[in-house]
């Protein structure tokens, strides 16, 4: 008993940044969690003391540095707001000058003159300056809640640009106000890239005109153009449907991956290495070469040092059955898609149920992963050609994924995870599911179950980061919470919550007012744009 008391008296529990035991005392190593370390089991030597002290100091310095960057970032956002406010003030001043001067061009040249001087004073291109001044005016005029969050440093300029850009389809003040109430809380916990797709989706619920109408008009503007560059290079720019564009890019990436993988051989230890005659091109270079060959020859190109062999570009793993001659030049490339795309469609939208006050909260747009809303006609075409599709059952109010079934046998658990996660689950990462691994949050070797409550998708980069340790056992550590949320603990002890994007994707959103079916409206006649009120 006395011996146990003596041992307990020499046992120390100390914070991550704080007092340390003395050299020669006994340590009980218990755990590293919640900002503290319990140690035991052996006598603390001078070298151990130095190592713990060094890790402790470095961890404190890392935490202080990150906190300083966070404060500076908020200050930068506030300064950006002051600049935006001044640009908006100049835009309004230009309108007032034009109105008072009764200019025949309705103020166009006054605005150009002011934009030119701002551009010269700030050493910025005039077109970029005009865009910034227009954004500033729209932000402060139409989105007061977004501007207020920007002024306090909660949002960055890129966040406000994503919100205002997605809100361009909203014309009424009530619709914009409802849109703001949904998007601002989401923006405060998202990266600007994550926010862009979410904002498009939310704005679609409050839009006066449906995406089907707008897509029919936008599709008329499809084209191909060349932008000349220096050094004998040029950019080939094609304006096509979002589904076709993403499918083309995916097919090119898959071909490049195949070529680079073909030129690697397995080593005795299980790893791979490049062969002596391996293709020296990067993945981006291979994609550009394949695109040029396919467009110029209209056939499968010879790639690198040999052929693709039996894996023809239009069959097998790299395609969906080939391109029929009748499909070319008809304006409908959907039947010729040979890439992979991930599309989710609300059941009511897929069934073509009319919009009404009762169905509106559950009648959201179809969505292309990594892009945002697409028209229902394209989504139905893709669903009709798919060999199987998942039905996702969600909570009626929160949008959380509850279950997934499929009209074809398969891996139910994998499909449930795909429906819930949508992309990599590291905070801020939007890497697509086909580039992710399904990871056990608590490793299976340590008793972690293979269940939805212990699995999540992680891209290879963040999967590797999860298993990396430094500073005496610190690292990125996830923990599963209810509703599929992941709580990530950073090396400095901070907590970051990653909520599944499916919760936002499938959450019902009620419209501003009861919506009745709307007949197609002819586009208005072109007229001069007034730069100041009549």
285-321 pLDDT, tens digit each: 999 988 888 888 765 444 443 333 333 333 333 333 3
Percentage, residues of the chain above pLDDT 90: 31
The β-bridge partners of 114 are none
For residue 529, name the pLDDT band (cuts at 50, 70, 90). Answer: very low
pLDDT of residue 310: 31
Interval 391-408 mean pLDDT: 57
Interatomic CA distance for residues 379 and 363, integer angstroms: 14
Distances, alpha carbon 275 to alpha carbons 31, 262, 284, 302, in Å: 46, 9, 20, 19
Distance CA 443, CA 520 (A): 55
Cα 376 to Cα 212: distance, rounded to the nearest angstrom = 6
The answer to whether residue 136 scores a pLDDT higher than 90 is yes
Q: What is the pLDDT of residue 345?
A: 74
To which residue do tokens 């704080």 refer? 18
Q: Which range among 124-133, 212-221, 395-404, 481-490 shows the weakest confidence by mean pLDDT?
A: 395-404
| Domains within the chain, CATH numbers bracketed | 56-215 (no CATH), 222-259 (no CATH), 342-389 (no CATH), 405-507 (1.10.30)
Cβ proximity of 215 and 381 under 8 Å:
no
- What is the number of residues in the chain? 534
pLDDT at position 9:
38
**Which band of pLDDT confidence, cut at 50, 70 and 90, is reported for residue 257?**
confident
Q: At what angle do helices 283-297 and 242-262 cross, to 10 degrees?
A: 110
In terms of Cα–Cα distance, which of 384, 373, 374 is closest to 351? Answer: 384
- Judged on CB neighbours under 10 Å (0-12, 13-18, 19+), 533 is exposed
Tell me the whole-structure pTM to 2 decimals.
Answer: 0.64
Query: Which helix (DSSP H) or strand (DSSP E) does residue 249 occupy?
Result: helix 242-262
**Does the structure show a pLDDT above 90 at 81?**
yes
Region of poorest pLDDT, from 229-233, 314-318, 354-358, 369-373: 314-318
pLDDT of 4 strictly over 80: no
What is the H or E stretch that residue 404 is in? strand 401-406
The secondary structure element, H or E, covering residue 456 is strand 455-459
Tens digits of residue pLDDT in 14-56: 333 334 444 444 444 433 333 444 444 444 556 655 666 778 8
Q: DSSP states of 472-500 as a string?
A: TTB--EEEE-GGG-EEEEPTTS-EEEE--
Q: Say what the pLDDT of residue 237 is.
A: 94
pLDDT in tens, 203-253: 988 988 888 888 899 999 999 999 998 988 999 999 999 888 988 888 888
The tens digit of pLDDT for each residue in 149-177 reads 999 999 999 999 999 999 999 989 999 99
- Over 60: is that where the pLDDT of 450 sits? yes
Q: Round the average pLDDT of the chain to a whole number and report it.
A: 75
Confidence (pLDDT) at 334: 33
- Per-residue pLDDT, 169: 92
Mean pLDDT computed over 337-352: 65
Distance CA 430, CA 416 (A): 18
Say whether pLDDT at 434 is over 70: yes
> Of 188-197, 293-302, 432-441, which range is least confident?
293-302
Q: At what angle do helices 157-166 and 173-187 cross, to 10 degrees?
A: 140
What pLDDT shows up at residue 13? Answer: 39
Contact in structure between 110 and 120 (CB atoms under 8 Å):
no
* Residue-level pLDDT at 528: 43
pLDDT value for 508: 64
Window from 177-181, 239-243, 257-261, 391-395 with minimum mean pLDDT = 391-395
Residues 6+ apart with CB under 8 A from 492: 59, 62, 63, 66, 474
Between residues 353 and 303, the one the model is more confident about:
353
Burial of 352 per CB tally in 10 Å (0-12, 13-18, 19+): exposed
Structure tokens at 224: 């191909």
pLDDT band at 489 (very low <50, low <70, confident <90, very high): very high
Q: Which H, E and C letters describe 67-128, residue by residue?
A: HHHHHHHHHHHHHHHHHHHHHHHHHHHHHHHHHHHCCCCCCHHHHHHHHHHHHHHHCCCHHH
Burial of 199 (0-12, 13-18, 19+ CB in 10 A): buried
Residue 65 has pLDDT above 60, yes or no: yes
């Amino acid at each position: 008993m006395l011996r146990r008391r003596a041992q307990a008296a020499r046992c120390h529990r100390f914070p991550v940044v704080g007092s340390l035991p003395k050299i020669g005392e006994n340590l009980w190593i218990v755990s590293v969690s919640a900002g503290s370390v319990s140690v035991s089991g052996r006598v603390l030597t001078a070298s151990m003391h130095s190592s713990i002290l060094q890790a402790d100091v470095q961890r404190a310095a890392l935490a202080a540095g990150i906190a300083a960057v966070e404060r500076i970032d908020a200050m930068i956002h506030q300064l950006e707001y002051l600049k935006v406010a001044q640009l908006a003030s100049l835009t309004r001043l230009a309108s007032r000058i034009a109105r008072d001067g009764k200019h025949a061009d309705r103020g166009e040249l006054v605005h150009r003159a002011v934009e030119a001087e701002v551009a010269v004073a700030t050493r910025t291109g005039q077109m970029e300056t005009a865009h910034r001044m227009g954004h500033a005016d729209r932000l402060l005029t139409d989105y007061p809640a977004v501007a207020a969050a920007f002024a306090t440093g909660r949002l960055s300029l890129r966040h406000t640009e994503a919100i205002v850009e997605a809100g361009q389809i909203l014309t009424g003040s009530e619709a914009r106000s409802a849109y703001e109430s949904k998007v601002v809380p989401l923006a405060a916990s998202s990266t600007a890239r994550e926010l862009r797709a979410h904002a498009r989706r939310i704005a679609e619920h409050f839009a006066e005109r449906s995406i089907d109408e707008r897509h029919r008009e936008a599709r008329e503007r499809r084209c191909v153009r060349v932008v000349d560059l220096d050094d004998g290079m040029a950019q080939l720019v094609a304006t096509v449907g979002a589904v076709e564009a993403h499918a083309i890019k995916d097919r090119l990436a898959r071909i490049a991956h195949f070529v680079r993988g073909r030129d690697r051989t397995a080593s005795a230890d299980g790893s791979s290495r490049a062969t002596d005659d391996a293709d020296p091109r990067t993945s981006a270079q291979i994609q550009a070469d394949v695109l040029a060959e396919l467009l110029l020859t209209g056939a499968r190109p010879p790639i690198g040092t040999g052929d693709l062999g039996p894996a023809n570009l239009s069959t097998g793993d790299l395609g969906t059955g080939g391109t029929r001659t009748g499909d070319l030049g008809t304006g409908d490339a959907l039947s010729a898609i040979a890439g992979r795309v991930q599309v989710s469609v609300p059941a009511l939208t897929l069934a073509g149920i009319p919009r009404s006050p009762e169905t509106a909260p559950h009648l959201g747009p179809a969505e292309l992963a990594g892009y945002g809303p697409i028209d229902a006609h394209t989504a139905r075409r893709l669903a009709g050609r798919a060999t199987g599709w998942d039905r996702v059952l969600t909570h009626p109010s929160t949008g959380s994924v509850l279950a997934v079934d499929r009209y074809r046998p398969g891996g139910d658990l994998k499909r449930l995870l795909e429906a819930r996660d949508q992309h990599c689950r590291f905070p801020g990462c939007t890497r697509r599911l086909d580039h992710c691994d399904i990871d056990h949050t608590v490793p299976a070797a340590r008793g972690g179950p293979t269940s939805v409550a212990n699995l999540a998708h992680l891209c290879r980069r963040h999967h590797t980061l999860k298993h990396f340790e430094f500073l005496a056992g610190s690292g990125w550590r996830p923990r599963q919470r209810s509703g599929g949320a992941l709580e990530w603990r950073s090396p400095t002890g901070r907590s970051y919550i990653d909520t599944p994007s499916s919760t936002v994707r499938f959450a019902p959103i009620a419209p501003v007012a009861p919506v009745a079916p709307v007949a197609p409206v002819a586009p208005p006649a072109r007229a001069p744009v007034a730069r100041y009120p009549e």
